[in-house]
């Protein structure tokens, strides 16, 4: 299974700034042939991503989607619109969306269905809010996944990338979770979703204050299929360095 390294810019980088980011990153990414890369800009910068990443191996996608197909939903963006822009991935369920927009597992489930119907893949974020013993954290994460993925057929689970992001490890000044803890949670997630063949199984990536120093140790942990990078990817050179990390201690 190839490593998967991606980033969500959150509400950062204007379209002009995005163009500058891609101008630096695309040449650096050309040498990263052993990893699947993706970038999730803000909605206004999606067309920049499409234009600057065309012809490269780097995928792009969106940070959110409407559960509705079309109609009177002012300000929303449908899955069909994102697919038409060439998005491969759509992120759903991030803790900030849950906290700031009161998104429930039912709404997240509806968004997942919209993404899959439009032919794109899902990046589903999950993670415990407060530090807890690892078995308790696993219980919380599995319960959340069960609710969010209740309507996804087993043969479609391979189109869902699970991003384990413990909320307590996200944000400035935070540190990534201990790699062994991360590995235990990832293996529990994989066991719940079913491994299957490498081509069909869900990948489980880690997000939460990932940087170049922590990346090798996280990638070395069994069950960690890749990384989902936040603020440390706003510098394209720093993101390229993380993306080039090899598993190690």
What phi and psi values does residue 208 have, to the nearest 5 degrees?
A: 140, 85
Q: Report the alpha-carbon distance of residue 180 to residue 164 in Å, rounded.
A: 14
Cβ-proximal residues to 212 (8 Å cutoff; 6+ apart), any chain: 232, 238, 241, 242, 245
Helical spans, DSSP H, in the chain: 15-29, 46-53, 79-84, 95-101, 105-117, 134-148, 179-193, 215-219, 236-243
**44 half-sphere exposure, CB direction, 13 A CA radius:** 10
Q: Which of 94, 128, 186, 221 is catalytic?
A: 94
Alpha carbon dihedral 217, 220, 223, 227, in 10-degree steps, equals 60
| Catalytic residue status for 100 | no
Q: Report the alpha-carbon distance of residue 230 to residue 233 in Å, rounded.
A: 6
**146 half-sphere exposure, CB direction, 13 A CA radius:** 9
| Catalytic residue status for 94 | yes
Query: Residue 65 CA to chain centroid, in angstroms?
Result: 14
Q: Which of 103, 165, 186, 221 is catalytic?
A: 165
Angle made by CA atoms 8, 17, 219, in degrees to the nearest 5:
30
Q: Report the alpha-carbon distance of residue 130 to residue 127 in Å, rounded.
A: 9
Q: Which two tokens stand for residue 98?
A: 């849950």
Question: Which residues carry out catalysis?
Answer: 94, 165
């Amino acid at each position: 299974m190839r490593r998967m390294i991606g980033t969500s810019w959150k509400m950062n980088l204007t379209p002009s700034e995005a163009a500058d980011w891609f101008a630096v990153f695309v040449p650096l990414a050309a040498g990263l042939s052993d990893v699947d890369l993706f970038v999730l800009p803000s909605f206004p910068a999606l067309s920049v991503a499409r234009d600057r990443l065309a012809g490269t191996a780097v995928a792009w996608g969106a940070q959110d989607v409407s559960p509705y197909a079309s109609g009177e939903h002012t300000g929303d963006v449908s899955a069909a619109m994102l697919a038409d822009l060439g998005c491969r991935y759509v992120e759903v369920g991030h803790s900030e969306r849950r906290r700031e927009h009161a998104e429930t597992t039912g709404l997240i489930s509806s968004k997942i269905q919209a993404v899959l119907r439009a032919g794109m893949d899902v990046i589903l974020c999950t993670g415990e809010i407060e530090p807890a013993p690892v078995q308790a954290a696993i219980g919380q994460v599995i319960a959340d996944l069960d609710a969010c993925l209740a309507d996804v057929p087993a043969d479609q689970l391979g189109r869902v990338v699970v991003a384990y992001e413990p909320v307590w490890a996200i944000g400035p000044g935070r540190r990534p979770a201990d790699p062994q803890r991360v590995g235990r949670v990832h293996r529990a997630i994989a066991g719940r979703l079913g491994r299957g063949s490498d081509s069909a199984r869900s990948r489980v990536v880690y997000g939460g204050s990932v940087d170049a120093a922590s990346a090798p140790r996280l990638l070395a942990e069994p069950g960690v299929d890749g990384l989902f990078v936040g603020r440390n990817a706003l510098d394209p050179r720093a993101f390229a360095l993380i993306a080039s990390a090899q598993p190690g201690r």
